[in-house]
Amino acid sequence: MKKIAFILLSSVMMSSCTDMDLIPESNLSPENFFKSEEDATAAVYGTYSIFTDNDIYNQFWEVLQSQGTDDSEWSGGRTTNNLDKNALDKFEFDGNTNLVYSLWIKHYVAVNRSNFAIENISKMGDDQIGADAKKRLVGEAKYLRALAYFNLVRIYGGVPLVLKQTTSLDGLEVPRNTLDECYNQIIADLQEAKASLPSIGQLPESYLGRATKGSAAALLAKVYLTREDYQNVVKETAEVMQMGYKLWDNYADNFDVEKENGQESIFEIQFKRNTPGVSGSNYNGYYRPPFVNINGWVGYGDDPVTRNHYECYEEGDLRRDVNVRLYTREEYPNMSPNYEFPCYVNKFLDPSPLAVRSQGGENNLPILRYSDVYLMRAEALNAINTADVEAYECLNIVRRRAFGLNMNETSSIDIKAGLSREDFLDVILLERRKEFAFEGQRRFDLLRTHKLKEAMMAQNPTIGAVIEEKHYLLPIPVTELDANKLLDQNPGW
């Protein structure tokens, strides 16, 4: 399906610097720029575009989410020269690790661009922009600000809440807010976005790929799940389930470049190859093994898949061969003889001859899919009442699809009722591990359930033994602590 391309307009770009990237723009006067709906849309597009940055959703976010979990490990002859990746993989990172800093900075770029859009679009007159467009565009910017802050608090804990655009160099030292204060703001932004954004049935084709009412409600559900506010998870997922989303019959269709922004998609990061000024996806090469060369693009072999992950699928689960691939030396005799288990991520493939290294691939990155709504709802319903039969049905609908079965008929692979709350949660986490493999969810699932150390002890006890309570959050970057004396470091760092 047609996707929107978020073009990087120089007029809405921010400079990259310290202090959370709150330095004001020097080349743009809002009074001269915000004159029409097109201008307002360009400002919001500038916010969408930062999420396609390599330090967020175009590579390193997935480094954080899979490396340093039981899904991925540099081992068995598979190595990297990237110090950050090794540090995350072996839990040797600290406040000086480059990736710890770049994740912080780029998310605050997103916050600053959101604030820039929200504040200036809100000031536009009726002669410059229609009321409906104004409300929608502010809603989109608030959705993106909430997404940025949700990522930040899950990584670093309570962070500085900056809700106004920066207009001077004064007052850039900002203290951290509490976790509750951050989540209250995230929820408020998402509630406002949900009230302002269109539903999928109201979208013109040119709007595909942008935040919707369903995007806001589904992200609210994930926020509430992280907070263990299960009643509100049930409420939000019920709303999403009335909005017209559907699961694909075939799990693999979620990753077909010709079916992006399709019936199961709730929100995904947009990439487009061979389009000037627009980011192509790096995942086509990022996940590809280093012994595979397609269109002159040799893979990086990142997120090397563990045997632990490969073997977590039951016999007949069709997701395994979509998600990962175990290569053989018969197929690729150029493979290093040192590779003990040459298994790599198989998702996000772009078969087009136009998908070359200099242009990237067409593959979007899913942030929220409809199957997530089913599994979040299942987890919440069971947490409220372990005897709730709907919790099992929501879980089993996703499982039946995974085995190629009719999603609406009971089957032999269904999880039977009667599990304890703890056992049901373990089943859910395993199901999420398979359903959302290498989509940036595993680490957060292990963090919010406090099962990271347990999972790593099962994967590699040597690494698992290193994990302490402090590793459930990243350290605040030392560069930020030096630049902002009002910040304090996370415990243990």
pTM across the whole model: 0.94
Q: What percent of the chain has pLDDT over 70?
A: 93
Q: Where are the domains of the chain?
A: 12-69+79-209+464-493
**Does the pLDDT at position 462 exceed 50?**
yes
DSSP sequence for 242-288: TTT----SSGGGGG-GGGTT-TTEEEEE---TT-TTSPPBSHHHHSS
Q: What angle do CA 61, 92, 459 make, to 5 degrees?
A: 75
Mean pLDDT across 243-254: 98
HSE (side-chain half, CA atoms, 13 Å) at 160: 26
Q: What angle do CA 326, 283, 372 make, to 5 degrees?
A: 85
**Does the pLDDT at position 14 exceed 50?**
no
Instruction: Dump pLDDT digits (tens) for 340-379.
Output: 999 999 998 888 898 888 888 999 999 999 999 999 999 9
What DSSP designation does 69 have? B
- The amino acid at 164: K
Residues in the chain: 493
Tokens of 13: 């770009």
Residue 325: beta bridge partners?
344
Query: What is the dotted CATH code of the domain comprising 12-69+79-209+464-493?
Result: 1.25.40.390
Mean pLDDT across 13-35: 54
8 Å CB contact between 165 and 112: yes
Banded pLDDT at 4 (limits 50, 70, 90): very low
Largest CA distance in the chain: 68
Which of 75-84, 261-270, 346-355, 371-380 is the least confident region? 346-355
HSE (side-chain half, CA atoms, 13 Å) at 252: 11
